[in-house]
Structure 1
């Protein structure tokens, strides 16, 4: 296996990865010390190898989800592989649990473990342009808004994604050039998972039907929507103090003067701060109707618990959140 500094002639794939990490580091990092989340797959192994060769001081954080037989051995192998690059490595053992199915539980457990282990260092993640395109397609299929369709950002401290403009195939070619044999997670080919079906069925069909370039176009769409969402969210933040009073009621007159895209962002923030549980788009729109389509309609349920529910009512040109017994 190639060691850090031993490579004299690099493949194009290796050069692209190292260049991507160096560019990311120049733009976003203040220190050379980073963590890299490592699964043992091609994307994360290639990222860890490239980060070392880009001059960063790397600690690989390998999360063992304990979801498959032999997962401990796979995690130990991944950690040894990262050490072989000239980095440090740690194995983090988690037990996913909670609502939302195994994918959501595993994701929560993984990010919690990385947060606890990173020791105030940034964590680099191996998401590629293909992951970005899949995320946008999933959002489109679910009718998501701009915030969701803007998908993943390259830097949202402490999480960094240096490879968002790199294709998945490039990480595989780089691993081959470095003599690495990545672990193939069987979950990545299991059609029970929605993302797997998007990856292996839907996206290739789009590419074929439209003559290629779809993944790059979807990633560009995410970039554009992220810019739009940032501008609208900043506008909503500016007007929020005028719309929401100290008693936590919201002024209908102020909200009604706002464009829908801004007003609903103000409402979503307000609902979250007054205790609504996950104010989805449909709920936010119902509350917005209390502002712009008022005809004396009753309260809108926005969450609560087993003992009471929270509702939004309109009285005296103000919106208020009130508890009601179940």
Structure 2
């Protein structure tokens, strides 16, 4: 774990601050403890943020206790942050949105260079399986990235069992989140199924799924880069040139369409394959059809050989 954290932080300038997002569970607690050891030896500063979602009894006290432990371990700043969880996107999605907003705000407030997340190799394998169950494309199968903006996941190559062993070896007392055993949450419901698959197919399954995510992620990044370059070539006044866009290979074209839709104001959390397919049909299957309707009230039309996106009136 120390090697994984050192590798993850090796490119940061001396004196940089990293914040560990820590719920008090075994994965994030082991990550926080490891970072507290590694960061000062690398010339870095390390702090901690514990987010209280307010969804369970005693959550505020638990977050405060994690922050207090962190201060005793030499992590500074160390703070507990309370968030209000909305109702949109289901309970898991709403909690995740509130949590990341709080972590973004903490990173800005403390001028942190990186925020560390405790996702493990097992979490990555679960993410790949969930993507397959949902019929996701390569972007979903690529799973979580080791680095995304200021977020870093040092433990994506570390087994969940290793974080539990690290906590035991270091005398840490992690919190067991009951939501992790609650079948109402899809990821929690998936874990027994993954255990069954491991029993049938062997222990290498988790590592193989995680490696699949890494391999697909490399290909996805390459195609995304090609698509962004192609998108610039397809720009026309007020939109995109449908002819140039239609000449692109489908994997590049659909990625260019997706990038343009995000530019046009479509919420990435709400944009899905059906929306991209509907807009792509205006290029690859043009029969004079009407507009494609997208989240947020945005409409994409084809006219005069161009695609244009119209924002709703406010």
Q: TM-score, normalised by structure 1?
A: 0.87
Aligned to 1:9: none
Separation in 1, partners of 2:301, 2:284: 14
Structure 1 residues 194 and 241: CA distance shift in structure 2, 3 A? same
Aligned to 2:66: 78
Aligned to 2:52: 64
Which sections of structure 1, spanning at least 5 residues, go unmatched?
1-16
Which one of 116, 126, 129 corresponds to residue 134 of structure 1? 126
Of 36-45 and 264-273, more deviation after overlay is shown by 264-273
1:241 aligns with 2:229: no
User: 1:1-326 to 2 correspondence within 5 Å?
Assistant: 17-26=1-10, 28-31=11-14, 32-56=16-40, 57-88=45-76, 89-118=78-107, 119-121=110-112, 122-199=114-191, 201-248=192-239, 250-277=240-267, 278-305=270-297, 310-322=298-310
The structure with more radius of gyration:
1
Structure 1 residues 61 and 279: CA distance shift in structure 2, 3 A? closer
The CA deviation string for residues 101-136 of structure 1, in whole angstroms up to 9 with x for no partner, is 221121111111111122121111111111111111
Of 167-176 and 110-119, more deviation after overlay is shown by 110-119
Q: Is the 8 A contact 1:45 1:82 kept in 2?
A: no
The CA deviation string for residues 280-303 of structure 1, in whole angstroms up to 9 with x for no partner, is 211211222222222333332224
- What value does the CA root-mean-square deviation take over the aligned residues? 1.9
Aligned to 1:10: none
Separation in 1, partners of 2:295, 2:163: 44
Separation in 2, partners of 1:323, 1:117: 32
The CA deviation string for residues 164-214 of structure 1, in whole angstroms up to 9 with x for no partner, is 100111000010011111111111111110000112x22112212212211
Separation in 2, partners of 1:276, 1:36: 31
Which sections of structure 2, spanning at least 5 residues, go unmatched?
none
Separation in 2, partners of 1:324, 1:181: 52
The CA deviation string for residues 38-83 of structure 1, in whole angstroms up to 9 with x for no partner, is 1111111111111111133321111111111111221122122222
Secondary structure at the counterpart of residue 34 of structure 1: strand
Q: TM-score, normalised by structure 2?
A: 0.90
Separation in 1, partners of 2:309, 2:83: 38
Structure 1 residues 256 and 66: CA distance shift in structure 2, 3 A? same
Secondary structure at the counterpart of residue 39 of structure 2: coil
The CA deviation string for residues 233-290 of structure 1, in whole angstroms up to 9 with x for no partner, is 1111111122121222x21211121111100111112223334454321121122222
Separation in 2, partners of 1:60, 1:117: 10
Structure 1 residues 112 and 263: CA distance shift in structure 2, 3 A? same
Of 55-64 and 35-44, more deviation after overlay is shown by 55-64
Q: Is the 8 A contact 2:238 2:308 kept in 1?
A: no
Q: What is the total number of aligned residue pairs between the two structures?
A: 302
- CA drift at 1:139: 0.9
